[in-house]
């Protein structure tokens, strides 16, 4: 787990530098229309790897320390709050960025004329929306004590040896629906329309007799395909990492059963591996 933490931090820092350098090079060499096409996607990617890097620096090391002490918390309430905040903030942040990137690719492929009229400001607005919405999702229930509404959960949550917020069944189910099921469904629907439009465009290119038009359209299609493929891989690995959590957590919550320790470790490893895979894909 410690090696995974190191890889998350170094990998995401390297991804930030690479994407930022490529963005500067694109500004110098390419036209405004192409800059906008690549720029919004790269702004979202940079923001996503920044969130992964922050989590790797804050939440992940604290989780490693907790696992080293066999699940017992020894660092006090302040560091516990930092660990819990980083953990619960990271999930909606990643989900929101993946949804925004899917919307970005949908507009680029299915609504190219509309997409070319957009500016870099939209990318920054989407980043601000992701961070603001994620903070709202996390801080609101923490401030209102929605995590530990049940009386029998308070003694455990107030224990000095345990670092977590005890969540009510209602919160877990709402969290599953709004942060898990709904965004993943939206992403799959968007990618269905993207793939359908790409197949239609391929047929139109094959039936075209204008060689110059074919070349320009083919180059534009290759750029779109690379971006769609990258974000598609991000969506695939995100689904593999998070869908088991969104399935197991509600089931065990509704039934009142306790999660086996081995299953908890597997889900934690899958979640954190997602932060390590993203910079490789970028």
**Residue 96 buriedness (CB in 10 A; 0-12 / 13-18 / 19+):** buried
Supply the pLDDT for residue 225.
65
Instruction: Select the more confidently predicted residue: 96 or 147.
Output: 96
Supply the pLDDT for residue 35.
47
Q: How far apart are CA 38 and CA 51, in angstroms?
A: 20
| pLDDT band at residue 130 using 50, 70 and 90 as cut-offs | very high
Going from the C-alpha of 146 to that of each of 80, 138, 166, 174, 234, the distances in angstroms are 17, 10, 9, 11, 31
What's the pLDDT tens digit per position in 51-107? Answer: 888 888 887 788 778 877 777 778 877 888 888 888 888 888 888 888 888 888 888
Instruction: Identify the domain containing residue 98 by its residue range.
Output: 2-281
Instruction: Select the more confidently predicted residue: 211 or 105.
Output: 105
Q: How far apart are CA 170 and CA 155, in angstroms?
A: 19
pLDDT for 131 beyond 90: yes
User: Which of 50-64, 128-142, 202-216 is predicted with the least confidence, judged by mean pLDDT?
Assistant: 202-216
Contact (Cβ atoms closer than 8 angstroms) between residue 109 and residue 198:
yes
pTM of the model: 0.75
pLDDT for 44 beyond 60: yes
Annotate 61-123 with DSSP letters as a single string.
Answer: HHHHHHHHTTT---SHHHHHHHHHHHHHHHHHHHHHHHHHHHHHHHHHHH-HHHHHT--HHHH
Smallest CA-to-CA distance from 191 within 228, 165, 156 is with 228
Supply the pLDDT for residue 45.
82
Domain count, the chain: 1
What's the pLDDT tens digit per position in 103-127? Answer: 888 888 888 888 888 877 888 999 9
**Number of helical H runs and strand E runs in the chain:** 11, 0
Spell out the residues 6+ positions from residue 116 whose beta carbon is closer than 8 angstroms to its own. 33, 36, 37
Supply the pLDDT for residue 246.
75
**Residue 239 buriedness (CB in 10 A; 0-12 / 13-18 / 19+):** middle
What's the pLDDT tens digit per position in 224-271? Answer: 666 667 667 777 777 777 777 777 777 776 776 676 767 777 777 777
The CATH code of the domain that includes 246 is 1.20.1070.10
Instruction: Select the more confidently predicted residue: 103 or 24.
Output: 103
Smallest CA-to-CA distance from 146 within 164, 176, 166 is with 166
pLDDT for 174 beyond 80: no
């Amino acid at each position: 787990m410690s090696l995974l933490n190191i890889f998350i931090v170094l990998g995401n820092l390297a991804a930030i530098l690479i994407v930022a350098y490529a963005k500067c090079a694109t500004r110098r060499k390419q036209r405004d229309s192409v800059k906008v096409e690549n720029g919004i996607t790269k702004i979202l990617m940079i923001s996503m790897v920044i969130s992964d890097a922050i989590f790797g620096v804050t939440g992940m090391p604290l989780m490693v320390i907790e696992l080293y002490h066999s699940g017992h918390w020894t660092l006090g309430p302040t560091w516990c709050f930092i660990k819990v905040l980083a953990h619960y903030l990271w999930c909606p942040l990643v989900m929101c960025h993946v949804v925004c990137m899917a919307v970005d690719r949908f507009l680029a492929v299915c609504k190219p004329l509309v997409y070319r009229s957009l500016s870099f400001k939209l990318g920054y607005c989407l980043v601000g929306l992701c961070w603001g919405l994620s903070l709202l999702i996390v801080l609101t229930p923490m401030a209102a004590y929605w995590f530990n509404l049940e009386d029998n959960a308070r003694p455990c949550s107030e224990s000095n040896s345990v670092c977590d917020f005890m969540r009510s069944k209602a919160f877990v189910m709402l969290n599953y629906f709004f942060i898990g099921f709904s965004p993943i469904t939206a992403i799959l629907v968007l990618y269905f329309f993207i793939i359908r439009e790409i197949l239609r465009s391929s047929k139109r290119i094959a039936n075209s007799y204008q060689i110059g038009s074919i070349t320009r359209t083919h180059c534009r299609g290759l750029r779109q395909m690379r971006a769609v493929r990258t974000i598609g891989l991000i969506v695939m690995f995100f689904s593999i990492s998070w869908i088991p959590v969104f399935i197991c957590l509600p089931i065990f919550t509704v039934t009142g059963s306790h999660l086996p320790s081995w299953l908890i470790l597997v889900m934690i490893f899958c979640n954190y591996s997602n932060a390590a895979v993203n910079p490789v894909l970028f």
